[in-house]
Every structure is written in structure tokens, then in C-alpha cells.
Structure 1
């Protein structure tokens, strides 16, 4: 602002000085008359003041009928006036420049030619920097928008890679992320991510193959061992029977673990299984009737609730849920199958102690077992509920634990067969 003010003030002072010098030169050359001209700026104020500074001898039209512009006492013999002044006869302030006129001249000896150039007002002084500020703000806004737009376009592939990574399923690592052809760091990022996914898929496949192969290889020896123990138990004497029964139970538990691991391997690999329309209510009733030992199971089923799935896997889900309910129930288990909008709803509820809300997701983790579960069934594997949830998710459904007044209530939802509703 100081620079702008000084520049404008110096500009007006130079104009006043040049105008005065030109008029004095014209007088000296004898070209000046009783009328004054301030070409090219007709708004400049010019006066010829008497030697005592009291009388205006000549003036340009804008300066006529105005008192002398210079307030100094010219009678003292001042030869030069060059300063800022604010006379009451003009609005605002002006830069005043005056020179004495030598003889011969149209005016008395010692007359002074005074030029006043109005100085810009405060509004005019502020106008330039404010205009510059406005232009700078517009430019900054354009730069900001262009930067945001350019960076947004540059990082759009990164955001796409992030979204695709977030959508990857740990059980299906065959998908790959988008690789932009930018020939730069972002392309290298996409290629690195896909390389990592490739190595992860290969490692996961090796793990699944190992579990599957090991499970298959263990099934035959375990089945043979179980058969031999059963035959030995039939022929054993009373003294060795408890030991053989214990060994047979351990063998059965080992067989259950191997079967669960084999099923998990199949589920993780998403190996295709034949599907058909399964009456969920009838399957639940058959599973409940089959479990005549232990806690009584009551089946309340709505007819015609059909889902599309593999019958063996549905039977495994029902068996796992009912087995879990029987282990934790005090006296009864209720199995309910009904329609709920466009889904088939299966509820398995026991009257046991229930599951705390903060532990409801933990029971679906592989090999996770709560303390009460370990006390009631030390031989459990901790894989039944995870297998049941994964089967439900494979067929587009869910398996959760809902609130209940007493005990635990497992709720599975599966899409209905279109013509079943």
C-alpha cells in the first residue's frame, strides 16, 4: 500500500512539474497569452498568482473563481513550491508545483505559475491493490481447483485399487486389482499388489491342498483303527474295556477333526457342489427326529420353505447347530423354520446359559471355544459353528446369534427358491 501510494503521488507530482515547466517555457518564448492550456489533461488546475500570493491573475477553467492554490506567503520571495497541499477550495488533496515567471510576461514581475494535480482518494489508492487481491484470489481458486482436479485424477487409480482390495474375499484370491497404464509409480503399485495376491493365492492353495491331502490320507488309517477298536471292544474282558472305550472315543474325536478340516478345505476352495431345492423344514424335522438321545428337540416347521443348496451341506449345518444346542441346553431345544419375507428363517434356541453379547462373534472363529463349552464338551473341535456360517454364506445367507430371554438363539437366513414363496 505504501508503494502504491508513493507511486501514485510521485506520478501526480511529475505531471504538475511538467505542466508548470511547459507554461513557464511558453512564457519565456513569448507563446503564452492571457489564457492557459493544460493539454492534454484539461482537469489539471493551473493558476497564475500575483507576486504577493493574494490575487489570481489567470487560471484554467477548473481553477477559476477559486482562491490561490498555494497557501504559502509568496511575498517572502519563494521561488519554488513543490509539496502536497489540501486547500479548502478543492475536494481532497493535490500535489502543488509552482515557479516564478521571469520578465517579459503578460503578468507583473514575480508572478508565479502554480499547477495542482489532484491526488487519488483513499478509494482510488486502495482500488489497485484490492483489484490485485481479487485477481490473485481468482487465480488461487483456479490453481486450487486445477490442483484438486489433477491430483484427484492422478490418484483415482489408487482409490480404485483400494476399493478393489477392500472387496477381496480371503477365501477367493483369484481376483486381481486394476493396473493403470501410466508407466509410473501407480502402475508399479498395481503390479506389485497383483504380484502379492498371486503369491498369496499360491501359498493359500498349497495350504488347502496340504489340509485336503492330509485329511484324505488320514481318513483310511483312522477308519481302520476305529474298526479294530470296535472289534477289540467286543472281544475284550471287563478289565480292558474302559481303556478300549477311551481309545475309541479319542479315535472318533480325531475322525471328527479330520472330517471338519476336510470340509473347511472344500469350503475355502469354493469347490462346486451339486445344488437342488431343499425343503428346509423337512430337513430340520429329520435331523431332530434322528437325535433321540440327549436333550429333547422340538421342531416347529412351516411346510414348503424351500432353499437352493446342497442337501448334504444343509444337513451338516442343521447337525452342527442342533449338536451345539444340545450340549448347552438344560432341558429342551426348539427348532423353528418359517418364511420371513423373501428369506427362509431357521432358528435353533436352547434354554441354557446363553452367550454374552461380546462373545457372539468369537464363537464363529475357527477353533475358538468359550470356557463353558470346554467344560460341557471337552472333546469338541471348535469348528462346527464356523463351518455352519461359511455354508450359509456360500448360499447367500447369514448365520448370527440373536437376543433371547433365555439361552442362545441361532438364526440362519437363506434366500427362498423363487417359486417357493
Structure 2
């Protein structure tokens, strides 16, 4: 069992609000630390300046007479040393303690330092200042100390910072939660519309937001996906309907032949019945094979691709076909392509079957190489296809009137399957202009054996059909 953390159980709205609050908390904390450091240093400098001013004032008095510090002083920690280094005066709490500092500044300067846990101030941190002054018998020194500034400076700074920190983080959390909620409202509407869509009702579309942003792109992408899904479902329904209709015809014919023969078994011409049933079975077999091939191509199932000689493949397929119509061929030597041998043979035979149904006397097969493309053309001398119907013949089960008259047993899947095979090989299959009849052109990347290391191949002049 997979255990889901509380973070993943939260909504994206709550997670983004928490994340924004955490970032704001970090920023506020960094700003607060900076403010405290600056304020503390300013407070230390201020105390040092005050201490220096008191030392100067006391030094002026001490030039005339050493003050009596036992009666108290503005600074509680004061020690006065004579030129010999002996303590001459001190405040009561410093009288019996060692010197508070070892600082020995120049006679005309002063020195200050921050000390912690010294013998004079155990467990305490102090700001210590050493101030030398001149008397007739030499240079004396006044040492003064005041408590150091705490890290938080004081409650007058810490309390406003803490309150401001809490207010900013809370405002960020509330604002982020509200803004993200408003931003994600279209997502909820899109999800609600998508939940209403079923396989039998694909007409619904999600609303598109007004503003050009990622949510608008999401809505438009979802609508395009629904368009493709609806088109695919309609195509599958149409395919199933047409396939069931075409399968029903041979089955009905088989049943009629058998029922008529069984009405009078002794008078029935059973060889004739068997031939009629066999003809329907063959038609149904062809239709089932075409349907399976179309389903395989729709599913994207492709055979093993290999480097093969297209010239040899076309020549072998032409040699194996029964001579129903005169075949004229003109094949460029050594045309190499990458593809599935069985699929390419199926494409060629579908084009030849179509040409045989419409040709009057001759079929022409040309194989050339043009600018790195292998071009396989199959032409017939039949009636041809009107320009406005050239794309319709590549639709499944689409059969022109002339095709129904000449071959009532056709399935209407040969040319669509051929085009799908062409697309699966990164090629194209089109019906192009011709002086007479129909001319199908299949193009795919290819090269010659003479230039096998150069995918663009050798340019060969294209032959026109006669």
C-alpha cells in the first residue's frame, strides 16, 4: 500500500499558498536578521560614543584632581590607573577586581573593545573603553565598561519585527490562497465540462478563458483533443457500420444459395451452389483481410524495417502476378529504401489490383529516383478519376460508380490501405495528372546502390508513361 504524505493530500491551492508563505517567511526572516544586525551595530556605536564622551569629561576633571568614585559614577564600572599601572580609583563593584581590560592605547588616542566572560566580568559581555589622559606626573588611564547590546537590541525593536513578520506571512498566505483559487477557477470549469463528456456524447467543449495565457492554451488544447477524439470515434463508428454492411452482403448471399438448394436438395445443382458460395466466401475473406490490415495500421503496428532493394521487390511481384492485363514496366536499377517488405508488396499489389479493374488494355509500372526520393508509379489506360473525386477514392469503402459497375466485389479498402502504408513509411501516395486513365505515384526516401553512403542518392531522369 502506497502511503501518501500530507503534502500530497493537500490541494494545489493549499500547497501553493504554503509555498508562498514559506518563501515570504524566509524573506522576512532574512530582512529581520539584517535589521537586527544593523540596529545592534548602531546601538553599539552609540554606546561607545557615549562612553567616550563620559571618559573625556572624567579625564578633564581628573587632570585637576582624581575623582572619588566611591560615591558613585554615571558608569558603574570605572577603574583609574596611575602611570605605574596601579589602581588609583574605582567604582565600588570594581575596586577589588583585576583590570577590566588589557588595552593600552596611544597617549593621544583611545581604544574600545567588546569582551565576554572575563575575570572582571564573569558570565557577562561588556563594551570596554580605555582612555589615557595627561597629568604632571605622567600618563594616566581611565577604563570604563557598560553592558553589551543584546542580540535582539531590545523589546522596542524585537516586538515590531515579530508582529510585522507574522502579518506579512499571514497576508501572503491569505492572498496566495485567494489568487491561486481565482486563477484555478477555469480549471475547475474545464474539469466539470470534461466530466460530462461520454463516448456517446462528444459534442461538449470546454470554455476558453478570455485572456491569452497557459489556461487558455490548455482549454484550446483540450478542445482540439476532443475534436480529434470525436472525429476518431465517428470514423470508427462509420467504419464499423460500413464493415458490417459489406460483411452482411456475402453472408446473405451464402445463406440464400444454401437455403435455395435445401428447398429441393435432389434437384439442386450442388457444384453450382458450391461455386457461388465459394465466390462469396472469397469476397468475405478478402474483406476480412483488408479489415485486419486497416485495424493494424490504425493501431500503429508496423513490421520490421530493413534496407531492401525496391527494384527487385517490384520486379518479383510483377513476375508472380497472373497476366490478366498487359504489364509494361520500366524500373531503375538498384533503388534502395528502408521499409517493411510485406507492406510495400501489399501497397504495390493494391495499386495493381485497382489498375486491373479499370484498365482497357495496358498497365504501366515505373520506378525512378528523383532528388533522394524513390518514385513508384502505376498507370492504367482506363477512364480515369475526375479531379474533384481524387481524394475521395482514398476514403474507406468509398467506391465510384464506375468502380461498382466494373467490379461489384471490391471492398473499397485497397487504396486507403495503400495510402496508410505510404504514410507509415514517411512517404506519400497521390493520384496525379495523366493524359489518359489514372496515374498513382508513391514517393518515399531512397537512394541507389551506387551511392549507398549518401542518403540523397543519385539523381535519375524520370520517365514519362506513354
Using the size of structure 2 for normalisation, the TM-score is 0.43
Using the size of structure 1 for normalisation, the TM-score is 0.47
